[in-house]
Amino acid sequence: MSKHPEIQYRDIDARGGMPRRRFLKSSTLGVVAAAIAAATPLPETALPQREAVPAGSGTAGRRILLKGGIVLSMDRNVGDFENADVLIEGKKIAAVGPNLKATAEVIDATDRIVMPGFVDTHHHQYQAVLRSLIADALLQDDYNRVINNPGALNAYYQPDDAYIGELLASISQMRAGVTTSVDLSQISHSPAHSDACIAGLKESGRRTVFGYSAGQGPTNRYPQDIVRLRSQYFSSDDQLLTLALHAPIDAKVWEAGRQAGVPIVSHATSAEVAAQLINLDR
C-alpha cells in the first residue's frame, strides 16, 4: 500500500512485465519515429519557445510527476516500462508505474527515455576546453608534453579559463545524462583559480564533488587553502556542490583534509598506488 493515498497503483510485475531486451527492441521503432519527427523542420513562422522554470523550484519536499515516458529503472524489482510515470518527492523517487495520480508539478515525458542519472567518479573538468587537441596522440607522453608539464598549456590557464572549462564540462555531461561527477581539476594555480572552478560548477546547477587539487607556480596555495574553501563555499555537506581533497598518499597533505573535515580522493594511476591505498585498511 502506498503512503500516498492519492496515488493509484496498477499491478506491476517484478521485472516490469517484459524482459529488457524485448522491451528495448519493441521501443526502438517508437523512439526512432519520434526522432524523425523532431528532426522535421518547423515552418518559417514558428519560433522556438523556452520552457518555463517549473513551479516550486527550490521548495523543500517539492513534488514532480514525469508523465508518459519510456522508463528504464535500472532496478529489477521495479522493472522497465514502455509508457509509465515517475513521481519525485523532494530528493526521493516516491513511485514508478503507469498512470500515477498525484498532486504535483507535471512534466510531459512523452517519447523521452526516463532513467536514473549516470555518475562519473573521475573527471578533470577544466580540460573540457582542450577537447580533441591531442585526440590522436599517445596518452601519457604527449599529454604531459603538450598539456601537463611545467611550461605546457596548463601553466597558462587563467581563472576565466578554469571557469569556462568547469561549466562547459558540466553542461555537456548533463546533456549526456551524467548528473553527478567527481571533479579532480589540477588547475588551482592560485586561490582565484580555485574560486573560478567553484563558480563554474555552481552555475551549472549539477551535483558535483569538487576535489581540490594542486596547481603550478608560486601562487599555488595547495593544500592549506582548502580550509578557506571549506569555510567560504561549503557550509553544508548536503548541498549540490560539495568538497573533497584530491591528494597523493602523503600524511602531511592528508592532515589538511582532516583539518577541513572533508573526504580524501586519491588518483590511482598505477597498480602500485592502488596497492598502497588497499593496504591502508590492513
**Mean pLDDT estimate for the chain:** 83
For residue 17, the one-letter residue type is G
The pTM of the full predicted model, rounded to 2 decimals, is 0.70
User: Which residues make Cβ contacts (< 8 Å) with residue 90, sequence separation at least 6?
Assistant: 60, 61, 62, 63
Task: Give yes or no on whether 1-35+50-116 and 118-279 have one common fold.
Answer: no
Confidence label for 23 from pLDDT (cuts 50, 70 and 90): low
Cα Rg, the chain, nearest whole Å: 23
Tell me, letter by letter, the H, E, C secondary structure of 22-74: HHHHHHHHHHHHHHHHHHCCCCCCCCCCCCCCCCCCCCCCCEEEEEEEEEECC
User: Which residues make Cβ contacts (< 8 Å) with residue 228, sequence separation at least 6?
Assistant: 191
How confident is the model at residue 54, as a pLDDT? 57
Cβ atoms 169, 128 nearer than 8 A: yes
Domain residue limits, the chain: 1-35+50-116, 118-279
How large is the average pLDDT for residues 105-129? 94
- And the C-alpha cell for 120? 562519473
Quote the percentage of the chain above a pLDDT of 70.
78
How confident is the model at residue 249, as a pLDDT? 87
Cβ atoms 231, 195 nearer than 8 A: no
CATH 2.60.40.420 fits 118-279, yes or no: no
- pLDDT of 270 strictly over 90: no
Annotation: CATH topology of 1-35+50-116: Urease, subunit C; domain 1 (2.30.40)
Window from 76-85, 112-121, 263-272 with minimum mean pLDDT: 263-272
A 10 A CB-CB count for 1 gives 5
